[in-house]
Amino acid sequence: MADKEFRKISGLGDKNAHINVYIQNRPSFSFEAQQQGLYPLQKGEIYAIGQACGNGWRKVFNVYAKLLFPLLGHFNGVDQRCSTWQQYRDEELLQPGSHTALWFTPPKFEQSDTLHIIMGRTYAKSLNLPNTLEWINQEFAIDLSQRIVVCPYFDYRQLSNHKILFMLEIITQHFLKK
């Protein structure tokens, strides 16, 4: 696929996503996209992207799955069908019906029932985010009205297991329907 066609893809995942994650970069991978917009992954493509694009992308997908796995069943349409985060990553994450997306474009806050997770303080500060964003500490911020969480980049050193637990607490306290 030509690079020009690749640039048309604005993200990976389900067009009906309830959990949208935003990343500043994109993998150098030839997707078989026939149209612009969101490209839904198929089983095996997360593995293929990791193989083609390196350990950094494997970490992004692993951390994404580790973060969401405990939340399955708490968001509309997101079911708990997998028994491990690895199974979830390989069989559902960013696939049709997963209600998850990974965007390579700046966020649009059009859906009120969507959780927006922005990877990285530096990326978040480069965006035109609402001035209602409240920094909890040096790495995490939230905006309750726009349903935004800013967190460290999805990497084991930046978003460690301990920080994933902290982020799960933030999401559970502020964004899950009680």
Which tens digit of pLDDT belongs to each residue from 156-175? 999 999 999 999 999 999 99
In a domain, 6, yes or no: no
Q: What is the pLDDT of residues 73-123, one digit of tens each?
A: 776 555 567 889 999 999 999 999 999 999 999 998 877 789 999 999 999
* Cα separation, 19 vs 68, whole angstroms: 9
Number of independent structural domains in the chain: 1
Contacts of 76 (CB under 8 A, 6+ apart): 18, 99, 113
In a domain, 98, yes or no: yes
In a domain, 119, yes or no: yes
* Cα separation, 164 vs 68, whole angstroms: 10
Instruction: Give the structural domain span for 136.
Output: 15-27+36-175
pTM of the model: 0.90
